[in-house]
Amino acid sequence: MPIEYRRDDSRRLIAVTMTDPYTLDDLLSQTDRQWAEHTWEYAILYDSRGSRHIPPAVEIQQLVDRTRLIGGGRSRGPVGIAVPPRPEAVRGGLEMTKAAGPLREIEFLLNQAQVDAWLTRHAPRHG
């Protein structure tokens, strides 16, 4: 499966791991699922470090637009995007943060230490 969607209610965390090949429809369906499961306020980590696919800017914009439409103005939990440290992946991550606009904070993560720190801040383990 190109997208693995894991939900951890104890941490209030959704982890979406992408591997090749995945499509825009795969990403849109996970956004729909998060809304349907009433977990919009959960932290969400998109991890594309295992993928070589970089969505084009038009698809990134469609994902951002769908998220805004589905959310209907409701606040969304923290968003982290983990990408491999390759120039084209970094450009894609920057495109996502740019498309989201100044009102949406998205953290861009380049290595495991940054991912771990993001998880500690936004989805701490309990118990």
Nearest to 80, CA basis, from 42, 32, 47? 47
pTM > 0.95: no
In a domain, residue 127? The reply is no
Domain count, the chain: 1
Task: Give one DSSP letter per residue of 49-75, joined into a string.
Answer: EE------HHHHHHHHHHHHHHHTT--
Which residues contact residue 123 at a Cβ distance below 8 angstroms, ignoring those fewer than 6 apart?
A: 8, 11, 12, 13, 42, 43, 45
Each residue's pLDDT expressed in tens, for the chain with a length of 127 residues: 689 999 999 999 999 999 998 899 999 999 999 999 999 999 999 999 999 888 888 988 898 889 889 888 888 899 999 999 888 888 887 887 777 776 567 898 999 999 999 999 999 987 6
CATH number where 103 lies:
3.90.190
The whole domain housing 60 covers 3-122
Give the relative orientation of helices 87-100 and 57-71 as an angle to the nearest 10 degrees. 40
